Structure 1
Amino acid sequence: MTILVIGGTGTIGSQVLAYLDGQGGEVRVLTRAPDTARLPAGTVPVKGDLSDIDSVRAAMDGVDTLFLLAPNAADELTQAMLTLNVAREAGVKGIVYLSVFKGEEYADVPHFIGKYAVERMIADCDLPATVLRPAYFFQNDVRQKDALLTQGLYASPVGTKGISMVDTRDIGEAAAPLPRETYELVGPDGLTGAAIAAIWSEILDRPIRYGGDDLDTMEQRLRAFAPAWQAYDLKLMFRRYQQDGATATAAQIDRLTTLLGHPPRSYRDFAHAVASEWTAP
């Protein structure tokens, strides 16, 4: 069996590769820089880019299973749809597509509704695909290290409605092709800004306060290292989190538990592990 992972050098992709390690077969990873990409031993780097359709066709040759983790790019929708068309023409037998939790509901958030459009293509073309819909990642909060440790602040403006954040390790474990299935990948708790601050207060043994819901400041901060369109896109996402929340149902959590073979990991356990790394001598 030959497996192609697109997005294998990123946060989620690395967890997918860790899950695939030792599963057998050839694992290819599409990358712009095969000579410098940091990949697990035994994986095969393949030079390519989703914006280069010829490289995608070459990488897809002889592939049985495709893991598609499209980048958060301005043309993400086009890249994902072209890649799935190439997979169909290449006779790929199983596809895992990483979508997003609440994609069909957050119609004013570009990278959410774009992923849902890809889901529509998968359904309309009857592609043999497993669709995974992860919520906001725990691991995004690793970026909060400086604010937490030096300012006593949890600065991510997640609001008061609650988000069923998910551990990326659970996403990696769930990334197995189960044709024509859709799973919400969520955590066990509906986390608010105040609840997350309280968890960090307990774990760090110091007062941590929630920084509030100021989205304009967040957008300007993001623009220091991200394109303006992406900063605004993320601002729109957080606006919907604040307005509507993104909490999972008990049935969705139970279904994921069955898929994983264990309950989804908790934010508290994630925070404990990260804090131990931060404070290790």
Structure 2
Amino acid sequence: MSRILVTGATGNVGKHVVSSLVKAGVEVRALVRDPGTAALPGEVEAVRGDLSSPETLEPALRDVDGVYLMWPGIPVEPRVVEVIAGHTKRVAYLSADVADLADGERPAIFHQEIERLIRKSSLAWTFVRAIDFATNTLAWAGQIRQGVVRMPYGQARRSLIHERDIAAVAVQALTSDGHEGAAYVITGPESLTQADQVRIIGEAIGREVRWEELPPEVAREQLTAAWGNAEFVEARLRAWRAFVDTPERVTDTVERLLGRPALTFRQWAEEHVDDFR
């Protein structure tokens, strides 16, 4: 039986990676900061470690056949890849569709850097380049409870992906052959306007929710205050504006790899009803 180390094991994607591996009969080891408080299935071995401290990874990597790597947005630590490569042969890295990110945008920079480090290593790698996550719409939850979402670019068309599909592709890459050296761009099955996403969430929770267009200059001020990063806000506003005229792309990668259609945004909304009530 193989053993896989999962980083970010309690996160939105990682928890589904864990459950899918367990269901497939794979031994799972989870890298966590505090094994005593980590909410994990009983079959999972929780081992203390921190990606910001490569020296703490040694016990977690002992006798593993592969690693699901999710980088938590901290500064890139090259030694992490070196340590992983010194203990195992296979890694599936949750990256991003860098083409969807603006040049100089921080996520694009660190994803590109980690991919570069992995390519240079001895690891057999697969990059799971996910489009923006459907879970990011949880940021609207407070406004949805009030019945109206006030944001700019309601006609921006997005192809957000369900976190369960991201996990399923990563598990496929870690547990079957033929994925070495692949960079999979994965998206949802359709491109929906942001206003339609809000409407669908409203239908899922059984309450009318509408989109109210917010002028970009007002949104810029509000988002900068909320996020604390003016450069990131500007990059997001540019991307949303671009998606009005050029919808975010849709790929068939999930269906090709899994043999079923990608999960829809409506399915995602119906599964997350409690998060919006």
Q: TM-score with structure 2 length normalisation?
A: 0.84
Secondary structure, in 3 states, of the residue corresponding to 1:133? strand
Task: Determine whether 1:216 maps to 2:221.
Answer: yes
Provide the rounded CA distance (Å) in 1 between the counterparts of 2:68 and 2:135: 20
**Cα offset, 1:19, TM superposition:** 1.1
Match of 2:125 among 120, 123, 129: 129
155-164 vs 1-10, which deviates more?
155-164
Code of the aligned partner of 1:89? G
Code of the aligned partner of 1:190? S
Provide the rounded CA distance (Å) in 2 between the counterparts of 1:209 and 1:161: 12
Aligned residue pairs, count:
263
Task: Determine whether 1:193 maps to 2:188.
Answer: no
Task: Determine whether 1:167 maps to 2:168.
Answer: no
1:8-87 alignment, distance < 5 Å = 8-73=9-74, 75=75, 77-78=76-77, 81-87=78-84
Task: Determine whether 1:110 maps to 2:106.
Answer: yes
1:165–1:186 contact (8 Å) kept in structure 2 = yes
Provide the rounded CA distance (Å) in 2 between the counterparts of 1:173 and 1:70: 18
Code of the aligned partner of 2:259? G
Aligned position for 1:146: 142
Residues 96 and 162 from structure 1, CA distance in 2 versus in 1: closer, same or farther, beyond 3 angstroms? Answer: same
Residues 148 and 55 from structure 1, CA distance in 2 versus in 1: closer, same or farther, beyond 3 angstroms? Answer: same
1:18–1:172 contact (8 Å) kept in structure 2 = no
Secondary structure, in 3 states, of the residue corresponding to 1:3? strand
Secondary structure, in 3 states, of the residue corresponding to 2:98? coil
Secondary structure, in 3 states, of the residue corresponding to 1:218? helix
Code of the aligned partner of 1:101? D
Provide the rounded CA distance (Å) in 1 between the counterparts of 2:142 and 2:37: 29
Secondary structure, in 3 states, of the residue corresponding to 1:57? helix
Aligned position for 1:225: none
Code of the aligned partner of 2:57? V
Provide the rounded CA distance (Å) in 2 between the counterparts of 1:28 and 1:156: 41
Structure 1 residues not aligned, in runs of 5+:
223-227
Q: TM-score with structure 1 length normalisation?
A: 0.83
Residues 234 and 18 from structure 1, CA distance in 2 versus in 1: closer, same or farther, beyond 3 angstroms? Answer: farther
Q: Which has the higher strand share?
A: 2
81-90 vs 233-242, which deviates more?
233-242
RMSD across aligned positions (CA): 2.4
Residues 125 and 206 from structure 1, CA distance in 2 versus in 1: closer, same or farther, beyond 3 angstroms? Answer: same
Provide the rounded CA distance (Å) in 2 between the counterparts of 1:278 and 1:161: 22
Structure 2 residues not aligned, in runs of 5+:
none
Deviations 1:167-223 (A, max 9, x none): 00111111132221111121122233223233345444425124534132122123x
Identity of matched residues, %: 26
Provide the rounded CA distance (Å) in 1 between the counterparts of 2:140 and 2:22: 30
Residues 32 and 189 from structure 1, CA distance in 2 versus in 1: closer, same or farther, beyond 3 angstroms? Answer: same
Match of 2:240 among 220, 236, 242: 242
Provide the rounded CA distance (Å) in 2 between the counterparts of 1:38 and 1:174: 23
2:100–2:239 contact (8 Å) kept in structure 1 = no
Residues 89 and 103 from structure 1, CA distance in 2 versus in 1: closer, same or farther, beyond 3 angstroms? Answer: farther
Match of 1:94 among 90, 97, 107: 90
